[in-house]
Structure 1
């Protein structure tokens, strides 16, 4: 059995909704056919969706999803064991880690460089995706995790430049190139299109977190409801959805951490939604940071993506079940949302 050592490893960070999963899909499309890649995806929400969204080749890619908190804090104790199992099983030629959008990279970097992985992993460029428009949002700019995602990155990708103004792009590029230590590269991108060569850039060192304890006092809670009327408390690292929900009786999970609230639903694959009705529900929600979902609708299976008030629907190949995750800055009225979601279903 070949020894696991010096596996090229990258962390791809960026705030909520900046396009990390899209960028990883773009990188996977460039993967050499003779290589195996391992992808570890971390989601803040309780319902894993990113693994369903990743359009991976038929072989040569092993994906592991960790949902229900940040691997830098809530799921920190499980990161080492999960990563070890993923590496043993896949024996990859490259490892890519995608933390949640509110995840602080410092703890992940420390884990990858500790005695457990020092000889196994070769940490290369830490890549941060940045939407130039986010620099207009003072609440985002003042967020310690947002600042350290940029500060600890070796490469900055200015993504979604097709949606930003020239002034916003120019300002973001100027600010990124002025950072010290200098970045290895500052690249403009649309739809997460980046060159594979960026993965093998090596950080020059000297990068330090300004807010290493940004998540240390985070309040974390979660609940798992087997049906809308039954609840039980569980710890985040062990949250799993193993049962299949019955038609029109979804599972729902909620969590809270770092000033954000999440609530997610998993529906039976036979539940079919009216797409126009879904759009109306999502438009009516307030204080939204992120909505992501895959739905079986009257217009086929679709992926829904919303960042604050910017939303898109697109076709998706996923067919297992309909699922939804909502992240907000205030507690969610989950019963009302679920009632409205069920009202969108076709009934026989």
Structure 2
């Protein structure tokens, strides 16, 4: 195998609902393509006609493959694997970057799993996942009704709020407010018209999303002293501790590798045993094969399915009535008990 076949290939996933502007975004990216780069574009058409792929092919000499007649998130996933390997065929011109545009009808979680876990002719490196939506699509009412929309936005690192010229200021603000309320937070939210997006903003590795400081309903946490401790073992990626002297509150957050799998029943016991210390808590944790959105409030914990393919994380606000501190043995005991509710899977 030559060096071109062993070099990691950057992969970009451009998702969004039907009519959001995904293909137009790819056309704009092609106009910004660095000189000397060769791209591969894999377009998923739910119907039998490859209209979007033909549109792209007419604007570029790069390799464009269409997968029609099904969604590459599910029924046509085998075709996705084959399509990527076709683009990586050593008999073809070597590509420097791969773009995947799924149909706007599918859930992209399985695509992310395939890119990160399957074996290909060349190792793949998933970059920031972007989701393109319009303010008229991204409404509170549709958010409640559309599982597809929730999955697309949740799985995205960056959200492009497109076609703002066709929306009122109120609609744009409502969409931005909805996006700002999400957990985990987005890496970036960009407003634009005609899918005008800077290529440099999306051509970057997929970074771990930072922990966001929880805000309780009754307290603000200004003037925080931040302490972060990192671990090199498989149990814990990082620990963040912040303290508000004015409100006598601690915000504690943990991040765990995606290969660490938590037991929901054990987590419930952990919350039941330690919840008297918590004012508020939320997180996303891998439980079994899927991820769960965890919410602790009023001495009760809820678990709900969430489309998420990042690290596991949990954040808590703890009252200072128990005089917790960074060196307090109770913090370390709490952490160790949390780790013991999980196992590590290769």
Shared fold by TM > 0.5? yes
Residue 150 of structure 1 aligns to a residue in which SS?
helix
> What corresponds to 2:335 in structure 1?
none
Q: Deviations over 1:46-78 (max 9, x none)?
A: 21110122265553x111000101001110122
* 1:136 to 1:182, Cα distance in 2 relative to 1, 3 A: closer
Residue 11 of structure 1 aligns to a residue in which SS?
strand
- Whole-angstrom CA distance in 2 between matches of 1:28 and 1:50: 14
- Equivalenced residue count is 212
2:55 to 50, 53, 59: 53
Unpaired runs of 5+ in structure 1? 213-348
Residue 31 of structure 2 is aligned to residue 29 of structure 1: yes
Residue 113 of structure 1 aligns to a residue in which SS?
helix
- Whole-angstrom CA distance in 1 between matches of 2:195 and 2:57: 14
Deviation at 1:119, TM superposition (A): 6.3
> What corresponds to 1:182 in structure 2?
185
Deviation at 1:141, TM superposition (A): 4.7
**Higher RCO (CA-CA < 8 Å; seq separation 6+):** 1
Give matches, 1:186-335, under 5 Å: 186-201=189-204, 202-204=206-208, 208=291, 210=305
Q: Deviations over 1:71-107 (max 9, x none)?
A: 0111012211221111223421111100000111100
Residue 95 of structure 2 aligns to a residue in which SS?
coil
More deviation, 163-172/86-95: 86-95
* 1:58 to 1:128, Cα distance in 2 relative to 1, 3 A: closer
- Whole-angstrom CA distance in 2 between matches of 1:17 and 1:144: 17
- Whole-angstrom CA distance in 2 between matches of 1:193 and 1:3: 32
Larger radius of gyration: 2
Residue 3 of structure 1 aligns to a residue in which SS?
helix
Unpaired runs of 5+ in structure 2? 210-257, 259-283, 285-290, 293-304, 308-346
* 1:34 to 1:56, Cα distance in 2 relative to 1, 3 A: farther
Give matches, 1:85-164, under 5 Å: 85-88=86-89, 89-117=92-120, 120-136=123-139, 138-139=141-142, 141-164=144-167
Runs of 4 or more consecutive aligned structure 1 residues displaced over 6 Å after TM superposition: none
- Per the normalisation by structure 1, the TM-score is 0.57
- Whole-angstrom CA distance in 2 between matches of 1:58 and 1:143: 35
- Whole-angstrom CA distance in 2 between matches of 1:147 and 1:106: 12
RMSD, aligned α-carbons:
2.4
- Whole-angstrom CA distance in 1 between matches of 2:118 and 2:68: 25
Q: Deviations over 1:319-342 (max 9, x none)?
A: xxxxxxxxxxxxxxxxxxxxxxxx
> What corresponds to 1:11 in structure 2?
13
- Per the normalisation by structure 2, the TM-score is 0.57
